[in-house]
Structure 1
Amino acid sequence: MKKIFLMLGVALTLMFSGVSFADNGKTATETEGQIWSQIKAGETGVTTSMGQAHNQLINAYDLRVLKLRSDILAPALLVALFGMIIIFVLFIKVNGISKLHGGFTGKLVYRWSKFDVSIHWLGAIPCILLILTGLTLLAGRYFFKPYINEDVWAAFVHGAKLVHDYMAIPFMFGWALMTVLWAKNQLPKMYDLKWMMFVGGYINFGPFKGKHPDAGFANAGEKLWFWAFALFGLFISATGMLLLFPNLFEPSRTLSLISLVLHSTSAIIITAFSIVHIFMATAMSEGGMECMVSGYCDEQWAKQHHNLWYDEIKANGQLKFKE
């Protein structure tokens, strides 16, 4: 009889223990759901941390920002860089470049001072390096990392981060100087509309062939690039400072996430414009690159691409040739 009662006791103990475990499991699941709901609703808690978001476990929208970065911003930057390069290569293959009518004269007209050339490269070189390293930091983990050895990737992304950080300051200086000093020559004029309609005379077929619309010191395309660079360069510089020096500015978590999105979006736009600018100044325009190397341009280039400016400096006695 004692054995029977002992067996019944063990059975009842096991049964109630099983029920207890089941109830505990159910309670744990419900508790987890409640906690996550509270987190998403912005519930705060207590911690010994002294940071700005010390009482907040997680921002529920953090994951949405990361998804935006991986699904939209990263591919967009790749398209802005490589897509624009492919488009221009195909365009040049089909259309050809804009050649100088009658060829080079050999007479070089003064266009940019040495200081202007210097600040152009002060902004341009860091800009190119920031685009390439930014591509690695924004899109590298999704498009490059799977095909690279882990150790190589770690060293590569670390180097990209260092270059990106160190090039930020000279880029901001170059951007600020160019924006302030060059704005006066970048104001829109009525004749810029005609320049846009004829695509600046760079089309070599159909009704556009041989057309070279009027342009002042800067043509409509250069003005469009300048103001895009000025505006989105401002966004990049402001958000870049917040991201680069968080301890100095102490941005909130939300502001940091907004800065990340604005920084990436502005970089995508500037990347696309930069590719257009580089191709137009080098491959598309015969003799155009000389301007930002020596500060001088061929006389025929000035007459063909910036006729109003050439006529103005000639009439004012400001036309100077390289001796």
Structure 2
Amino acid sequence: MKRKAFSGLLPVLAVMALLPFAPPQAAAQTVTTAATGAAAAGGDRAATGGAQTLEDILARQKGLKIDDSFRRQAIGDPAHAAPMTAPLGTLGGVSDPELWRALRYDEANVIATASLPGARTVIQSSGMTWLAFRRGPLVTYGGGLLLAVLALLLLFYLIRGRIRLDHPATGRRILRFAAVERFSHWLMAGSFILLGLTGLVQLMGRPFLIPLIGKEAFAPLAQAGKWVHNNVAWAFMIGLVLSLLLWIRHNLPDRSDLVWLARGGGLFTRGAHPPARKFNAGQKIFFWIVMILGASVSVSGLSLLFPFELPLFAASFDLLNQTGLPQALGFGALPTVMPPQEEMQLAQAWHAIVAFAMMAVILAHIYIGSVGMEGALDAMVTGEVDVEWAKEHHSLWFEEATAAGGEEAGAGAGAAG
């Protein structure tokens, strides 16, 4: 079969993205309806003259997977057509219903003037399933995830408050991040904020913005957002690579991370400051989440920037099938042949799912790096932090830096109380 139902792939995308999207029906609920044995035995399918049965129709309405080979293969046979002088001979062995069925299953011999991939596909019924997913679960669960993270951060702030220094600032400064590190960080962070905002406009603008500002105002906003999204993506990918090269050696796990994790990083207990190097265990986890999800969203973004040139899912599904993981999870063998349009739809769905996951994680990072912790923002604005801040939050790194002569004397009179 050349095309598989798009809906069967959505649960796989959700599992791979580690988001709480559950398949609407268990994969085991496969309906073979009149099926396989009944037709051979001359049962319900024979009663309808080989056409679909009421059970087939009800199963499709419930979103269950059915065996539709009896329709997929009923597309006529021109090789055995009746002669022109015989009844029905002028149809060439293919009736109108068979022709439309062949178009629906992408089996018709379509001649197209365009040479682009997918130009011969006239009907792609799984596109409606993708559209329903994009307008429904993707917006609902993705938007709900972001709102839930914001609510949890607000609750944490109300309970814990801002994490302040236990002792007065000394007024002496120590270099924490060099200029190239800060450039890399802001290049990636700034571009991601633009990508997140413009992506949300493209995905949610129609149901949420048009009722507020009208179609006339939304149209240029969406058009400009698309241009920004497509071009700022390159800045994000450059920043991602730079950050990886600059910080990968500082984000390798060591024994101090176990102590930090065991004590909750001191986030929930006032006055508790577990030792940490340049990056603590929480920052290291965040770093690898951003690197992995950032690489994934970049690859799917490239696939969308160059339509039909970088198909991802057929080959990926083939590798997954070889591991036996989809079968073990109850999804069965994933499709390894699919129309170009379906490749693009899956790339868009995956791109959005991973982007929502990244936005949720980065919201927490923005909080702790700004209002959540006193003095944290200085590290990425000026590149320097107060000596007291360094001692309390990254004591092992402070000892290494001062041993190497990294401490710089500041204006002692400017020490904060």
- Whether the TM-score (by the shorter chain) exceeds 0.5 is yes
Match of 2:407 in 1: 320
Q: Which residue of 1 aligns with 2:82?
A: none
2:302–2:310 CA contact under 8 A, matched in 1:
no
Partner of 2:202: 137
Give the fraction of aligned pairs with identical amino acids, expressed as a percent: 30
CA separation of 1:198 and 1:59: change in aligned 2, threshold 3 A:
farther
2:270 equivalent in structure 1: 209
| Alignment match, 1:98 | 163
List gaps (5 residues or longer) in structure 1.
1-30
Give the drift of 1:97.
Answer: 1.3
Q: Aligned partners of 2:275, 2:176: CA distance in 1, in Å?
A: 17
Residue 274 of structure 1 and its aligned partner are, at CA, apart by 0.8
Distance 1:60 1:123 in 2: 38
Higher RCO (C-alpha under 8 Å, 6+ residues apart)? 1
Alpha-carbon distance between aligned partners in 1 of 2:346 and 2:353, rounded to the nearest angstrom: 11
SS of residue in 1 equivalent to 2:408? coil
Aligned mates of 1:196, 1:32 — CA distance in 2:
67
Answering whether residue 281 of structure 2 is matched by residue 220 of structure 1, we say: yes
Q: 1:199 to 1:79 in 2, by over 3 A?
A: farther
Deviates more, 1:116-125 or 1:51-60: 51-60
2:307 to 211, 235, 246: 246
- Shift of residue 90, structure 1, vs aligned partner: 2.4
RMSD: 2.1
Question: Number of matched residues?
Answer: 287
CA spacing shift, 1:322–1:76, aligned 2, 3 Å: farther
Higher Rg of the two aligned structures: 1
From 67, 71, 82, the equivalent of 2:132 is 67
Alpha-carbon distance change, 88 to 250 in structure 1, aligned in 2, over 3 angstroms? closer
8 Å CA contact 2:177–2:383 kept in 1: the answer is yes
Helix, strand or coil for the counterpart of 1:97?
coil
User: In the alignment, does 2:154 pair up with 1:89?
Assistant: yes
Q: Retained in 2: the 8 A contact 1:201–1:211?
A: yes
3-state SS of the aligned residue for 1:44?
coil
Partner of 2:375: 287
TM superposition shift of 1:40: 4.7
Aligned-partner SS, 2:368: helix
Cα displacement (A) at 1:254: 3.1
Question: 2:76 aligns to what?
Answer: none
Deviations 1:1-34 (A, max 9, x none): xxxxxxxxxxxxxxxxxxxxxxxxxxxxxx7765
Separation of aligned partners in 1, 2:139 and 2:178: 38
- 4+ runs of 1 displaced by more than 4 Å? 31-37
Name the amino acid aligned to 2:291. A
Secondary structure in structure 2 of the residue aligned to 1:178: helix
- Quote how far apart the aligned CAs of 1:190 are: 3.0
Cα distance in 2, alignment partners of residues 176 and 76 from structure 1 = 30
Deviation at 1:312, TM superposition (A): 2.2
Report if the CA contact (8 A) 1:77-1:135 is conserved.
no
- Partners of 2:252 and 2:209 in 1: CA distance: 41
Are the equivalent residues in 2 in contact too, given 1:120–1:174 (CA < 8 A)?
A: yes
TM superposition shift of 1:183: 0.7
CA distance in 2, matches of 1:51, 1:167: 27
Query: How many angstroms does 1:39 deviate by?
Result: 4.4
- Indicate which of 177, 180, 184 corresponds to 2:245: 180
SS of 2:119's equivalent? coil
Contact preservation (8 Å) 2:177, 2:384:
yes
Deviation at 1:210, TM superposition (A): 2.5
* Structure 1 equivalent of residue 345 of structure 2: 257
| Secondary structure at the counterpart of residue 78 of structure 1 | helix
Q: 1:45 aligns to what?
A: 109
Could you report, residue by residue, the CA deviation over 1:241-269 in whole angstroms, capped at 9, with x for unpaired residues?
2212337x364333322221221111111
TM-score by length of 1: 0.82
Instruction: Return the alpha-carbon distance in structure 2 between the equivalents of residues 317 and 120 of structure 1.
Output: 24
Aligned-pair distance for 1:57?
A: 1.5
State how far apart, in whole Å, the 2-side matches of 1:36 and 1:148 are: 41
**Matching of residues 105-184 of structure 1 within 5 Å:** 105-184=170-249
Q: CA deviation at 1:37?
A: 4.5
- The alignment partner of 2:407 has SS state of coil
